[in-house]
Structure 1
């Protein structure tokens, strides 16, 4: 156990509703995934308290809705400045509650700062377009244009794996567009969300615009999804929960980012030494708990053995341990249940496939695991592992590999390494995913790009500009000049 962890004292953390710290009738202990020690007592909101938060957000609509784009951008810019000053504190919170190695936690904070910066810029770029009505015979004498208006109250439900940046991808665009927010963070990572709410409070965001309601999805999440005062639900998490939200949301707009089992194709002309480090990052950063984590690799038979050998050797060099140790590459999964599930899937695969390395625990930590010759119907292949587990299979052509990639109920992002432009273009055209990454791993993401998938990977797009479009309503204005 690190000294920082042993020095941390558990404290009660309240809800944030209408700018006030609100106590709950009950609290839930929050444990460190790495050490197992209790690190906080988190308020478990009741349905009434969730409805109070929605009411506060509803009443604050007129406040932020009447603010100018300049004023909204200024608040976001102030939040950026404050977060820069508190970056080390923010990274430690992430590392501590999520067991994310500190080097990756610091990278997440840097991305979070960038995301809010993009949101500040996008606040000044929300506009419509003029319509050429005289292009229609009956449109002569008329002039028209569109405007974009805030959608209203945004219900945001966020996951544990990027507890600060994925909050930013919902909160930043919502504020930029002039909306209010009721935020339900993941139960394992509420401290990051409460921290960000305090940052915005310091930045001058009016009370009621951002409300943070911690507690169970069954109580808090359902109240958010079912309340008619919530105009949009934006959710990142599992397909089963996302589908449930879609079924209950009625005519509310929904943006759902539901994960994947992202794949990479490696062509025969690729210099293997040049891609190993990127593949290691794509597969094992944040213990593989990334929606676009590299889970499946299809390697041309001419370079297959070289890739498997070098990739496995590099994986063995990764250091497992304390997330607060700057040299740690891999730490504990978010919960013991997730660890047990991953081990069970590995055990299933072991009966039919080959475990090249890993597959065991070091303390509470699952070692980086590489599996070869795995059938497509094994759980490690066809479901989302969300753990440091990679499946590598041999193919005879890029076309064959594309077929395997598409043979999935998911379709978030996929990558291809090739020096053959025809093969690259074939992959771009035929891969049925939300994003094709050429000559990089599918784990690539920058925060201003459109991000989302097809099939069971979700609906709608994130990426600040695109999230702003989702979080606004288009209104048409027509003037009769006759």
Structure 2
């Protein structure tokens, strides 16, 4: 279908205890591009013994790293951010070839990651402990003071996904390091080249040997072994709800921070600015072919304005550029044929059950054309399941309460949008939605990165966002000073 994006085939090694090593088994995992299915590169398939060594060296290095002053850790992060900016062209080319993201979006992700790392350093330097006088609690006198500081947790296992292989690795690594932890990075197989390149950036910035190690290998072979390893002290995972649920079931007494799936709804009320709503919905649903946890994945629109909104959305979907990311297409081939097969199942189910196909419904290998369905009903899989692809259902509702009810019946609770010109209506809907974030008159999206970012129900555990991530990957420690008797 597409010609391969021209570039050098890359064979990477893993960073372990300050050395770049391959696996003793001499086995590699081939990484194929979603564009033309050509071989982009290879990464080592590490053995369990090699995983043990990587985690052990991280544990030993952390004992020294936690005593490095915060301002010195921050300087390393600033340098890493500067290096990311310097290498943006090279890194964006790798990203485009490995995961099929267009050049502009790839560059934006890398530059955003640099900003994230800098802001993390700034934030950590301004975090401080507290002192709590004992006499503020009934029955106690001024003879006790609690000095509260924050301590690192130890070894953080960072598991990043394919769709944002730089940003969603950096947003795990930077807060963990600045808090005094060591990190073991396990990137998604598709996305490993980007993840290992990022590790090299941190190494070049001056992260000491063992403080950041990487592991590559198929999750089916070493995934359970890593997450249940006794020397892992914290797991920071972004990925599917299915995998996240399994991690939470098989781990024991290990704190988790997880960003999982979503079925983000755009709720459009009768007094909404429909041009604004249509623009945001289409941008939110179809950029990078909808391969985003925070993509708009369904429209819940009140009957009075449904026809007009659908017309505007349809016009915009028809204008989307489809094809090769090299050409700046917004809708590109999905990450692999398995992903495309699943999206196609949802499209077929909607067709068979009577949804009105307005645009798309066409497939070429792993490329799904932007697809829009109207009159989707709640007995269709597309109303509930996360496609992770460029297909958007329109569900018509009689009023805001029915929209809230349908939105809340989802197993997911990542984000939702509400479009209305009435601030009271916006708050009415926002207060009742069971999600981590409600966007008013905007598409669902991650960021700014210092805002709290979280999911409820099957969409996640814990709260991300720069300050919140640092706090999640550290713990308070109280030292009580007793004065006199």
Range into which the TM-score falls when normalised by the shorter chain: over 0.9
Separation in 1 of the partners of 2:454 and 2:256? 13
Distance 1:59 1:444, change over 3 A: closer
Query: In the alignment, which residue of structure 1 is the partner of 2:291?
Result: 289
Contact 1:406 1:432 in 2 (8 A): yes
* Partner residue of 1:386 out of 372, 385, 388: 388
Query: In the alignment, which residue of structure 1 is the partner of 2:76?
Result: 75
User: What TM-score does the superposition give when structure 1 sets the normalisation length?
Assistant: 0.97
Query: In the alignment, which residue of structure 2 is the partner of 1:400?
Result: 402
Q: Post-superposition shift, 1:2?
A: 7.9
Residue pairs, 1:120-135, within 5 angstroms? 120-135=121-136
Contact 2:285 2:296 in 1 (8 A): yes
Contact 2:264 2:297 in 1 (8 A): yes
Separation in 2 of the partners of 1:368 and 1:4? 22
Separation in 2 of the partners of 1:268 and 1:434? 24
Q: Post-superposition shift, 1:231?
A: 0.5
Separation in 2 of the partners of 1:396 and 1:5? 48
Query: In the alignment, which residue of structure 2 is the partner of 1:29?
Result: 30
Query: Relative to structure 2, which stretch is displaced further, 288-297 or 139-148?
Result: 139-148
Q: Post-superposition shift, 1:262?
A: 0.4
Query: In the alignment, which residue of structure 1 is the partner of 2:97?
Result: 96
Separation in 1 of the partners of 2:474 and 2:32? 38
Contact 1:91 1:109 in 2 (8 A): yes
Separation in 2 of the partners of 1:476 and 1:97? 47
Contact 2:268 2:277 in 1 (8 A): no
Contact 1:366 1:388 in 2 (8 A): yes
Query: In the alignment, which residue of structure 2 is the partner of 1:451?
Result: 453
SS in 2 for 1:394: strand
Residue pairs, 1:213-252, within 5 angstroms? 213-252=215-254
- 1:6-62 CA-partner distances (Å, limit 9, x unpaired): 3x2323221211121111221111100111011112211111111111011001112
Q: How many residues align?
A: 480
Distance 1:92 1:139, change over 3 A: farther
**Which stretches in structure 2 are left out of the alignment for 5+ residues?**
none
The answer to whether structure 1 residue 206 and structure 2 residue 208 are counterparts is yes
Query: In the alignment, which residue of structure 2 is the partner of 1:85?
Result: 86
Residue pairs, 1:122-271, within 5 angstroms? 122-135=123-136, 136-271=138-273
- 1:153-185 CA-partner distances (Å, limit 9, x unpaired): 001111111111000110010111111001100
Contact 1:356 1:369 in 2 (8 A): yes
Query: In the alignment, which residue of structure 1 is the partner of 2:65?
Result: 64
Separation in 1 of the partners of 2:116 and 2:407? 30
Query: Relative to structure 2, which stretch is displaced further, 148-157 or 209-218?
Result: 209-218
- 1:369-411 CA-partner distances (Å, limit 9, x unpaired): 1112222242222111110111111122212211111110000
Separation in 2 of the partners of 1:377 and 1:56? 52
Separation in 1 of the partners of 2:141 and 2:252? 35
Residue pairs, 1:341-352, within 5 angstroms? 341-352=342-353
Q: Post-superposition shift, 1:274?
A: 2.6
Separation in 2 of the partners of 1:201 and 1:379? 45
Separation in 1 of the partners of 2:103 and 2:407? 33
Separation in 2 of the partners of 1:240 and 1:173? 26
Separation in 1 of the partners of 2:391 and 2:440? 23
Separation in 2 of the partners of 1:351 and 1:379? 11
Query: In the alignment, which residue of structure 1 is the partner of 2:339?
Result: 338
Separation in 1 of the partners of 2:152 and 2:337? 41
Contact 1:237 1:257 in 2 (8 A): yes
SS in 1 for 2:49: helix
Contact 1:51 1:223 in 2 (8 A): no
Separation in 2 of the partners of 1:189 and 1:460? 24
Q: Post-superposition shift, 1:228?
A: 1.6
User: What TM-score does the superposition give when structure 2 sets the normalisation length?
Assistant: 0.96
Q: Post-superposition shift, 1:444?
A: 4.7
**Which stretches in structure 1 are left out of the alignment for 5+ residues?**
none
Q: Post-superposition shift, 1:139?
A: 4.3
Query: In the alignment, which residue of structure 1 is the partner of 2:18?
Result: 19
